[in-house]
A and B are shown apart, each in its own frame.
Chain A
């Protein structure tokens, strides 16, 4: 058991950066478990954060293999690599795992590890709830993937599970239930993490770390967690109603009993659109940190950036039905207007990112390369998003490969590139060792080329009318070459992940020693050792701007306050 009585601060007379002899944090030392016991019982936010990130990355590899299976099926017309039913299962679980097991929870892992460090806190506010969240998340992953082991196979109705495909007649067997319960478990885990992060940010900041001095990453995580608080309970309720329909003979989504299938669509997308921002905002935060550090400049337009994040968060709550234009049952002008409005704060962010780099001393290392890749790819996905937000265009493009291309540009070219940037940026903090730059750059090159080769042709496929979620297509439709190209790209993308994996395993043991602050960082996570000790800080520099560590290390270049 540990009780923290004092906040750590600089020891009088001890210059910042040297470890003070007696730690200022007084705590009753408790048992320090190791190995498996540590993995299971640790309530240290750093351990839990790493658990999250490693598990999420395993999810990425699992769902990535499923994607390679699908692309292999689509490599040629009338192909028979997998049956249509297996294709549908792969499709559903690929989407579900990527979103609920990989991209979201990886961001939760980052929130766990980085947020307390960046605000000078000793841990998350509720360490044991934090540990509980992880188990619910891991359970959700296992339960939903376990569907493949049942007789009828895993869920096969697509990641948004439209009624009536999910009812007991169209989706008999436990696979669908396992999908439903699995998502609900990850949902609870997300809600707990949100409560935990919000409380940490509101109540455990170091003295002087006022809200408008928190790193942009922390702000973005905070807004994300507020979206989680609103979105996930709605999803969980919707899933609860679905479960009742399947098991208790209720008729919420059954027209036969007076229910409405479209009710599911409203509930799902009221969750679903905020969800895509839950999968994006934390990564906007990551790239902001990387850009500022690697350009050796403060974030340009700090408050504008926060305002943009807040307005993206707010607007994202009012646009859900742009996924439902073609139902003919939604208020088109309302949803089109709000959807297009989101482009404005997003544009502000792009200007601020460029402004941060402008005249900076830029280090183009792997983390920065992935970040620049993110900027280009996310912008592209954003532009096709503006296309899809306009009802006349969406009526043409809905349910085609154009949509598949759009969201992969946003989520893969965008968020996943930022995942890789975060790995290359913070790995030294997690392990005390640097990742290899040459392997990293190789990984980036392969991923960048492979990704664009996979998904760029899909825009054209969509314009030619190829619908998504089909396992076989005829050879006379003009789809053949573009599909072959896309599958080739998918293989290159898959290979591109390997150098990073090798890099991680190799550098964990033999990488160059990183030291506390390998990038000349600006924020507090670099003010402690790598990896940080229990309860994080032996000493902290005074916090007088949004980059306290920079001010401590560069007294001649203090951050201007009040800009």
Chain B
């Protein structure tokens, strides 16, 4: 986590400096605004990762530990990986028809809207399907957000460079 947030906040800082130099030297608005946007966008992202890292009290995840073993991560909930789904294609087609409506006239919203709304519903119902989520996984997911450092106290991973 540490390298992640440091890299992004570093990029944000760099853009901030460039932005300041550019503004004082050129006093040109568009470029300044764009650089400011870059600075803020990366700040938001890097700041979020920094908060996550703080929330873990700086305890490295297994992918951040140089000597992590596979065994220590057994049973960890990795994520939800559906094998196949029709809803993204429906939503994509809807998105394309939004584009077509912007070219050839508002009439095409009649096709675009039902496709998008239908796919949004199908998509979210699919993720919620209760029989697909075993109880332990659901429980683990709930606890995920506030990890108690005592649980992982035996990690004495070396600090990252």
Contact = CB atoms under 8 A, between A and B. Distances in A.
Residues of A in contact with B, size category: 35 or more
Contact of B81 (A122, A135, A266, A313): A122
Nearest to A539: B70
Residues of B in contact with A, size category: 35 or more
B3 interface: yes
Nearest to B136: A5
Contacts of B37: 230, 234
Nearest to B77: A5
Contacts of A101: none
B30 A143 contact: no
Given A128-B123, A181-B99, A207 B73 contact: yes
Given A5-B78, A9-B70, A174-B104, A210 B22 contact: no
B107 interface: no
B129 to A, nearest CB: 7
Interface string B52-68: 00000000001111111
A7 B76 contact: yes
A106 B44 CA distance: 29
B26 A210 contact: no
B48 to A, nearest CB: 11
Chain A CB within 10 Å — which of B67, B82, B88, B161 has the most? B88
A542 B69 contact: yes
Contact of A317 (B18, B70, B92, B134): B18
B95 A131 contact: no
Nearest to B66: A210
B132 A270 contact: no
A178 B161 CA distance: 50
B11 interface: yes
Contacts of A210: 3, 63-66, 160
A43 B126 CA distance: 14
State the majority secondary structure of interface residues on A. Answer: helix
A184 B99 contact: yes
B85 A143 contact: no
Interface stretch (A30-38, A360-368, A483-491, A493-501): A30-38
B25 A270 contact: no
A134 interface: yes
A287 B93 CA distance: 36
Contact of B62 (A208, A247, A317): A208
Contacts of B111: none
Contacts of B126: 1
A6 B89 contact: no
A2 interface: yes
Interface stretch (A198-206, A293-301, A407-415, A504-512): A198-206
A266 B160 CA distance: 40
A125 B79 contact: yes
A135 B26 contact: no
Contacts of A463: none
Contacts of B77: 5
Contact of A5 (B89, B104, B137, B161): B137
A40 B34 contact: no
Interface of A: 1-10, 27-28, 30-33, 37-38, 40-44, 122-123, 125, 127-132, 134-136, 138-140, 142-143, 174, 177-178, 181-182, 184-185, 188, 202, 204-212, 226, 229-230, 234, 243, 247, 263, 266-267, 270, 310, 313-314, 317-318, 320-321, 330-331, 334, 338, 534-535, 540, 542-544
Given A135-B95, A208-B67, A230-B38, 14 more contacts: A3-B133, A9-B70, A9-B73, A135-B91, A135-B96, A136-B95, A174-B103, A178-B103, A181-B102, A202-B4, A208-B63, A331-B26, A338-B18, A535-B81
